[in-house]
Amino acid sequence: RKEVEQDPGPFNVPEGATVAFNCTYSNSASQSFFWYRQDCRKEPKLLMSVYSSGNEDGRFTAQLNRASQYISLLIRDSKLSDSATYLCVVNMKNNDMRFGAGTRLTVKP
């Protein structure tokens, strides 16, 4: 079983749609969680950290369920510029980051 698993997609959605991505992780002792965004062949960039209580940043909402060992990302009112690959990242311990393979999103006019 992979340490961090994501649905690879692709997710093809129209502008204005709401889309949700899930990610599961295998290590119950994992300490912190992040969503990164990666545009084609470019470096990943932090989208948001994921906190136990859930957190929101504009149109983006991240949630963590430690009991079930999954995190989620919800994007509301999708924009064309949201088209990218979204990487789920889990910090196992001491900067030991594990990456999911990414979920590809395409937002269409």
Please identify, using beta-carbon distances, which residue of 8 and 16 lies nearer to another protein.
8
Cα 18 to Cα 49: distance, rounded to the nearest angstrom: 20
Please identify, using beta-carbon distances, which residue of 4 and 62 lies nearer to another protein.
4
- State the minimum distance, in angstroms, from the CB of residue 102 to another protein: 6
Cα 35 to Cα 23: distance, rounded to the nearest angstrom: 10
- State the minimum distance, in angstroms, from the CB of residue 88 to another protein: 9
Contacts with another protein, residue ranges (CB under 8 A): 4, 8, 31-32, 34, 41-46, 49, 87, 89, 91, 93-95, 97, 99-102
Cα 3 to Cα 83: distance, rounded to the nearest angstrom: 25
Please identify, using beta-carbon distances, which residue of 71 and 102 lies nearer to another protein.
102
As given in the structure block, the two tokens for residue 96 are 């030991």
Cis preceding-peptide flag for 10 (omega within 30 of 0)? yes
